[in-house]
Structure 1
Amino acid sequence: MTEVSSLTGRLLVATPALADPNFDRAVVLLLDHDEKGSLGVVLNRPTPVSVGDVLEGWAELTGEPGVVFQGGPVSLDSALGVAVIPGDSTERAPSPSSRLRSSRGDPIGWRRVHGAIGLVDLETPPELLAAALGSLRIFAGYSGWGPGQLEDELADGAWYVVESEPGDVSSPVPENLWRAVLRRQRSELAMIATYPDDPSLN
C-alpha cells in the first residue's frame, strides 16, 4: 500500500460539484489524516444551540458567535473543542504558569494538531486553559472517512485542499468562510468564490 501524505491541519473546501448535502459549501479542518482514515470538523455550520446550554464552563472562552457548530454527520452527541494558542507555545520562556504546561511546553488540556491549532480536552477545568487560549470553538460531531475514502473523493474532484489559517477556526461570520477561503487563494480557485449559490439562476 502506498504511503498516504498527511493532510492534517489543511482545509478541505467543498467544490460546487460535491453533491452530498452534509457538505454543501463546507470548509473542513482536517484534525487527523493517515492511512487509517481521516477526521475533521466543518468550520462553517453554526447551530442555534448556545455553548452555555451544553458546556457552561466553556461558554465564556468561545468567540462570536457563541454557539455549538455541527462538525459533521458522525457522533452528533459528542463534543470536540478546537482552540488556537497564540504564538509558538513551545518556544515561550518559562512563566509562573509553566507548571500548567506539558513536557512539550503546550498548555495542559490542549493537544497540538497543526501549528497553533489544537484539540481541547473538554474534561479539563476551563480555568486551566483560559489564559492560554486565543480562540475556541465547540463542535457537535465530526466528519470521518475510512482508509482511502478521502483520497477517492479527492480524485473525483469533490474537494479543494488548501492551507488553513488560525483565524479560520474562529471566523466571526462562518457563513462567509467558504467564499473567504477561496478568495484568498493565489490561483484559479479565487474565481470559484464568485460561483453563484444557484447556478441555474445565473
Structure 2
Amino acid sequence: MVSLSPGILLIADPFLKDPNFARTVIFLCENDEKGSFGFVINRLFDQQLDMLIPDVIYPGIPVHYGGPVQVDTIHFMHRLPELIPGGLEVSPGVFWGGRFDDVVELLNKGALDLRKIKFFIGYSGWTEGQLEEELKEKSWIPSESTPALIFEAEEQQIWQQALRNLGSNFAMMANFPIDPSLN
C-alpha cells in the first residue's frame, strides 16, 4: 500500500457517491498531524482564469475545481521552478505555489507553457485522521503520481488512466458504470 505522503494520488472509488468527489483524482500536497489537503486534478471549473483574476489578460486559461474548501481562493501547481520562484516541491518535478504576481506577469506576456501549470479554485481538505478513516472505508485508492498524468492527460481520462496505471485488477474498475443499478 502507498503511504499517505505528499505527492501521491487519491483515486475515488468507483462507487463513491459524494458529488464533490465522485470519479475524481486528488493530488495530495500535505499530510501531517494537523490534517491533509490536495487538489482535484480532473474536474474543470466553469470559468477561466481571466474571469476570476482581473489582472490576467491572457484569455482561455482553464481553472480546475480543486475541491469544496475555500472556493474563493486560487492555487496553482506547476513544473516551472526556474520561472516561478517560491514554490514547494511536493514530488519530483511537481511544485505547489510560488509568487503569483510573477505568474500573472509571465501569463500576460505569453511566456508560460500552459501544459506545465494548472490552476485551481478551492482545495480538498481533511481534518486530523479524517483521510485515514476514509481510506479504511475504501473511499479512496492511493497511488503513485506522475507529472504526465497531472499535467498532460485529458481531464475526462485522468480517473480511468489512474486506475489502469495500478494494473489489471484495477483497470476493469475504470469501466464500471457510475450507477450499477442502471446496468
TM-score where L is the length of structure 2: 0.84
- Aligned counterpart, 1:111: 88
Residue deviations 1:2-36, cap 9 Å, x none? xxx54210000000232211100010000101121
Q: How many residues align?
A: 177
Evaluate the alpha carbon distance shift between residue 176 and residue 38 of structure 1 in structure 2; reply closer, same or farther with a 3 A threshold. Answer: same
Gaps of 5+ in 2: none
For residues 57 and 31 of structure 2, what CA distance do their matches in structure 1 show? 29
- Aligned counterpart, 1:50: 48
- Aligned counterpart, 1:14: 12
For residues 131 and 154 of structure 1, what CA distance do their matches in structure 2 show? 37
Report the 3-state secondary structure (helix = DSSP H, G, I; strand = E; otherwise coil) of the residue aligned with 1:188. Answer: helix
Evaluate the alpha carbon distance shift between residue 80 and residue 122 of structure 1 in structure 2; reply closer, same or farther with a 3 A threshold. Answer: farther
Gaps of 5+ in 1: 90-100
- Preserved contact between residue 115 and residue 151 of structure 2 (Cα < 8 Å): no
Residue deviations 1:89-134, cap 9 Å, x none? 7xxxxxxxxxxx6xxxx95132211111111235332256956886
For residues 59 and 84 of structure 1, what CA distance do their matches in structure 2 show? 22
Q: Which runs of 4+ in 1 moved over 6 A?
A: none
For residues 133 and 47 of structure 1, what CA distance do their matches in structure 2 show? 16
Using the TM superposition, name which of 153-162 and 114-123 deviates more: 114-123
The reply to whether residue 84 of structure 1 matches residue 84 of structure 2 is: no
- RMSD over aligned Cα atoms: 2.6
TM-score where L is the length of structure 1: 0.77
Report the 3-state secondary structure (helix = DSSP H, G, I; strand = E; otherwise coil) of the residue aligned with 1:48. Answer: strand
Q: Give the residue type in structure 1 aligned to 2:93.
A: A
- Preserved contact between residue 51 and residue 59 of structure 1 (Cα < 8 Å): no
